[in-house]
Amino acid sequence: MANYVDARTKSMKYFALAIASMAISLSAVAEDPTQIGLEELRAKYAGGSSRFVTIDGAEIHYRDEGQGPVVILLHASYFNLLAWDELTEALVNDYRVIRFDFPNVGLSGPETKEPPGGKFNLIERNVEILEGLVEEFDLEPFALVATSSGGSVGFRYASRFPENVTRLVLINSAGMPRTARTDPNRARPETAQWDDMPVRPREFWEFSVNQNFPSDADAPDWFVDLAYDLNRRGETTPVEKYFFETGDPQSILSGIQAPTLILWGKANPTVMHLEGDVFQHWITSAPSFLKKYEGLGHYPYVEAPERVIPDVAAFLAGSWDDRLRQTQRVKVTP
């Protein structure tokens, strides 16, 4: 009951923030927040280990840290590789951790090549970039950890190149077909005052990110600042150059052969926790384990790293192999 009260109080707090922001916007003619240039972003967020490599015409920001078996981390929409800082810190003593920003987001450059047919399939384009990066670095088989929209990229790659992936971790993965009611990017009345802004203010990101932190912990300021800054950069490929298509996830997931850990925030308001059960049911060619976290949302590795990161590390080390099970298809005879 306490968790419910805390979550309800928190929701009311951020709804009040939204109303206050709306009142301010109605009381004066607001200017669009200032955009930030890519070079300014890089000056602010590129650390000493940041590197850049051109993959298929796109300048990709990446970090390659540690030694040992390779683990590649794939980030969520609206964020970049910095969201993985705490997981990287936990793994880097035992693994070579490679993380990168997808093209056109984070500190990676915009697209420079013309998309086939005039538009990029967003998921497939990011799979191509991952494939190119693996070839560029001449990587041996590796583990993949992917979250949200990065999960769509991760499970497609694991299905298409099963010989390259030793283990797969999916955290609140996107990739299921959507209706207008289940689209996580659908218009919502509580954020309507920001819908027509070409660049959304920090108040929007504070509200939006905290909606995905349903526990009594607020999203850390650095995480909100990161979302705000990365999503107001000026040099980007126009959104009209992309389209999003889930394809047939059941068929794709059935091609995965690597042991798979599926982690889900049970209070996730963006992708329902029941989708985790569907993922496990459709991964029929590999053993898997599904764990749900009570009270956590869409970014559990930031919201409660002390709960999530040890689980990821244990799975990568093989300590959870006795928990894995494989979905068996049973043919029904008429």
3-state helix, strand, coil split of the chain in percent (to 5) is 40, 15, 40
Q: What is the pLDDT of residue 25?
A: 34
How far CA 144 is from CA of 49, 141, 162, in Å, comes to 20, 10, 11
Structure confidence at residue 234 (pLDDT): 86
pLDDT given for residue 241 in this prediction: 82
Q: What is the pLDDT of residue 29?
A: 31
Q: Which residue type occupies 272? A: M
Sign for the pseudo-dihedral over CA of 276, 215, 300, 323: negative
Alpha-carbon distance of 293 to 90, in angstroms, equals 20
> Rounded to an integer, what distance in angstroms lies between the CA atom of residue 309 and that of residue 59?
30
Q: Which domains does the chain show, CATH number per domain? A: 36-174+217-321 (3.40.50.1820)
Tokens of 261: 């850990």
Residue 181: predicted pLDDT: 62
CB contact set of 207 (below 8 Å; sequence gap of 6+): 14, 17, 18, 21, 190, 191
Q: How far is CA 16 from CA 20, 92, 272, in A?
A: 6, 41, 25
What is the model's pLDDT at position 57? 95
How far apart (Å, rounded) are the C-alpha atoms in residues 98 and 79? Answer: 16
Q: Which of 248, 244, 252, 247 is nearest to 122 (CA)?
A: 244
Phi and psi angles of residue 138, each rounded to the nearest 5 degrees, phi first: 50, 55
- Is there a contact between 168 and 259 (Cβ–Cβ < 8 Å)? yes
Cβ atoms 31, 92 nearer than 8 A: no
Greatest CA separation for the chain? 70
Strand 58-65, strand 96-100: pairing:
antiparallel
CA distance 154 to 169: 9
Strand partners, 147: 171
pLDDT (0 to 100) of residue 187? 62
Q: How high is the pLDDT of residue 334? A: 58
- Identify whether the C-beta of residue 151 lies closer than 8 Å to the C-beta of residue 173: yes
d(CA 121, CA 101): 17
Q: Distance (Å, rounded) from C-alpha 40 to C-alpha 43? A: 5
Q: Residue 146 in contact with residue 170, Cβ under 8 Å? A: yes
Per-block mean pLDDT, blocks of 10 residues, the chain (334 long): 43 39 33 78 96 98 99 98 99 99 96 88 95 98 98 98 99 84 61 70 93 90 97 84 86 98 96 95 97 98 98 98 81 55
- pLDDT value of residue 6: 47
Give pTM, 2 decimals: 0.87
Distances from the Cα of 33 to the Cαs of 110, 152, 229, 235, in angstroms? 21, 31, 11, 15
Tokens linked to 177 = 């077909």
Instruction: Provide the pairing of β-strand 96-100 with 70-74.
Output: parallel
Neighbours of 177 (CB within 10 A): 11
CB distance 192 to 182 below 8 Å: no
